[in-house]
Structure 1
Amino acid sequence: MSDVHTDTHDAQSQTQKPLVLVVEDEPKIASLLCDYLNGSGYLTRHIDDGNAVIAAVREETPALVLLDLMLPGTDGLTLCRQLRAENSLLPIIMLTARVEEVDRLLGLELGADDYICKPFSPREVVARIKAVLRRSQALDQTLSDTSDKGQLRLNEDGWQALADDQDLGLTAVEFQLLKVMMQSPGRIFSRDQLMDHMYRDHRIVSERTVDSHIKKLRRKIASIWPERDVIRSIYAVGYKFEPDVLE
């Protein structure tokens, strides 16, 4: 079952608003979230069955998915994995009443952009959605403006990464690592996920191999931007690209 919630604005103005897919099986929570999101300038579609999510994402192409962990049908972690496999750039925020650290890390390793534990304030959810959407749009804004100082852009045809129009001289593996992280700014990647992108032939390498490539990549970026650290280490989890430091 699903419901589309809109306000009374005309159809043209509604189509310009970002759509948030609210996947939550508790009606009161779903209704509250949809009301707050509609009041904050978003369109919403509510789905209460995990089995209906993939088709809805393909049909609606939402700006963000707000995904409950415990759902009838397909559970939230499985859905997160499936959504990431289809669209690595789709922002996903997970909702859950399970606060154990292992669940937090598992959710992030599967590709969630953020994690909110119940009970929560609807205003907090709206604020976190705005923050995730800002991060997801930061890459396009960075790549679209190459005239100002502080810009990092990729030339995929030439396998080049340019910092302030200076070639970083990356190897193919380093270029691929940077590309993957820049496509999802703010998202935490585990070492296993990065290895999958580095070596498509699924060869067996150690986690230290990832750390070594990241170290070399950071060194090359620092040669042009010595005071910037755009690739951040997340202790015991992995790495993420932080575009905000480019501003």
Structure 2
Amino acid sequence: MTGTAMPAVLVVEDDPFQRQTVEQYLAMQGLRVAAVGDGAAFRAAVEATMPDVVLLDVGLPGGEDGFALARWLRGRSARVGIIMLTAAGDLVDRVVGLESGADDYIPKPFEPRELLARVKAVLRRSGGGAAVPAVAPGPGVAETAGPQRPALPPDCVAVGAALLHVTRRVLILPDGSEAPLTPSEFALLHLLVRHPNRPLQRDWLLEATSEGEEPEAFDRSIDLRIMRLRRKVERNPSRPEAIRTVRGVGYMFVPPGG
């Protein structure tokens, strides 16, 4: 049979039962899966063939944990998807995992169907097994050689039709006016722009950004904040380009031009 090869998933888990269970389940879903139990075997497997997605356990035997291996892998490839498997849903592990270059995390114990959904979401982002849609250039930007974009003001990040002024914690709109941000809106937007083109899970976004003046305990509060931000930054809030929804995961910031 010819055609595009199945996406390759590498499972790194020291517990033999869990390793075998995950490997067999993903293989039954049509994925090409390999599994190893420690950092040395992981490095050897990557050297032999770069996978599309790695499921990387945090707690591993030997001198290196999953965070160190994630940094090593991210240094070798920007495209490979990395999903950290964290124990007990520890928020510290989640944050450190994302800072180490991971695309997502999933706390143990996890439902196999949720794991599969996370793997598919990361595959879509990384382009593994499927083409990644190109982002069209913005108005007045040539696809070939031409005028360069004007430099952004210091401490500013382009977000949709607006600029986020990080130091002053305000949005600068296209007409030059300023739109204030609540502490929780700024915390959420700042977190998104610090992880461009990476799907971030709703629960993690909520936990990481609800410690300011406006603690929001309801599960859907993150969605309400996203809706308010889209009204401020998107050219068409009903068809968002800058703050996109990633089904089954959460949200992702896409800078202008991708």
TM-score under structure 2 length normalisation: 0.56
Match among 221, 239, 242 for residue 230 of structure 1: 242
Q: Distance in 2 between matches of 1:187 and 1:226?
A: 21
Query: 1:66 corresponds to which letter in structure 2?
Result: L
What stretches of structure 2 of length at least 5 have no aligned partner?
Answer: 143-147, 159-192, 201-232, 245-250
Match among 18, 22, 31 for residue 20 of structure 2: 31
Q: Does 1:118 align with 2:102?
A: no
3-state DSSP of counterpart to 1:166: coil
State the 1:173 CA deviation: 10
The correspondence of residues 161-172 of structure 1 with structure 2, limited to 5 A, is 162-163=137-138, 166=141, 169-171=149-151
Q: Distance in 1 between matches of 2:37 and 2:51?
A: 16
Query: 2:12 corresponds to which letter in structure 1?
Result: V
State the 1:137 CA deviation: 2.2
Query: 2:242 corresponds to which letter in structure 1?
Result: V
1:93 aligned residue: 83
Q: Which moved more, 1:67-76 or 1:14-23?
A: 14-23
Q: Is the 8 A contact 2:124 2:132 kept in 1?
A: no
The correspondence of residues 32-71 of structure 1 with structure 2, limited to 5 A, is 32-71=21-60
Q: Is the 8 A contact 2:70 2:101 kept in 1?
A: yes
Match among 94, 99, 111 for residue 109 of structure 1: 99
Q: Distance in 1 between matches of 2:81 and 2:196?
A: 8
Q: Distance in 2 between matches of 1:126 and 1:23?
A: 16
3-state DSSP of counterpart to 2:133: helix
CA RMSD of aligned residues (A): 3.6
2:219 aligned residue: none
State the 1:231 CA deviation: 5.4
* Cα distance change on mapping 1:184 and 1:61 into 2, 3 Å: farther
Structure 1 or 2: larger helix share? 1
The correspondence of residues 184-199 of structure 1 with structure 2, limited to 5 A, is 185-187=197-199
Query: 1:142 corresponds to which letter in structure 2?
Result: P
C-alpha offsets along residues 109-137 of structure 1, whole Å, 9 cap, x if unaligned?
11111111111111211111011111222
What stretches of structure 1 of length at least 5 have no aligned partner?
Answer: 1-11, 144-150, 153-161, 189-221, 233-238
TM-score under structure 1 length normalisation: 0.59
3-state DSSP of counterpart to 2:80: coil
State the 1:87 CA deviation: 1.1
